Amino acid sequence: MNLTLFDLDNTLLNGDSDFEWSQFLIRIGVLDRELFEARNLAFYEHYKAGTLDIHEFLDFQLKPLARHARKTLDQWHGQFMREQVSGMITQAARDLVNRHRVAGDVCVIITATNSFVTAPIAREFGVENLIATEPEHRDGEFTGRVADVPCFREGKITRLENWLAQRGWDWNSFADTTFYSDSLNDLPLLLKVKNPVAVNPDDTLRKHAEQHGWQVISLR
């Protein structure tokens, strides 16, 4: 049995769903462009540079969920999937996931982006297992706060190992372990698996991959 992990944003997706969700809310008039767009861009640049304060970002990203009914949010997300996400999914990404699914691997999408944004995207890829940052909710509605450890940097390892333990597994349960990612932020988890694969990597990850002989691929 093999374990195959996929990062989502800028790996399986040709773009960042977290960033694009905020841009979508700005575009449809839910968020004020003047107040939110510059901050959204700044957070994205910090993420790419490896300097993101995840708790500050989650406060920014999750608060809008608490201001609207879940039914309304779900309607907006359906529109987001049609108008934005569908164009971010390449055939190469679909084929990669399908190869591992057909091989019988345990496939997991593991992402820092919150599960409200990413669960429908995981379903679109046919991946049942999603480990994502979890927004807190009460009585079916979001509170604007984060629940559990954010699924970011070392937090991805914590969340993954907890997920494995809940199923009676650990790293030794698998003959092979693979992780596909684009980002320097995923170096902690990339260093844990047997087969780290850099996908359209940022400059830092590309340099690390080349120095250590990791596979580098493109899904574009």
* Tally of CA atoms within 13 A in the half-sphere of 118 that contains its CB: 29
Are the C-beta atoms of 170 and 201 separated by less than 8 Å?
Answer: no
User: Is residue 74 annotated as a catalytic residue, yes or no?
Assistant: no
Are the C-beta atoms of 206 and 181 separated by less than 8 Å?
Answer: no
Cβ neighbors of 84 (< 8 A, separation 6 or more) are 20, 24
User: Is residue 9 annotated as a catalytic residue, yes or no?
Assistant: yes
**Alpha carbon distances (Å) from 41 to 32, 48, 197:** 14, 11, 27
Active-site position among 7, 18, 105, 202 = 7
Instruction: Provide the token pair at 124.
Output: 């679109």
Catalytic positions, written as ranges: 7, 9
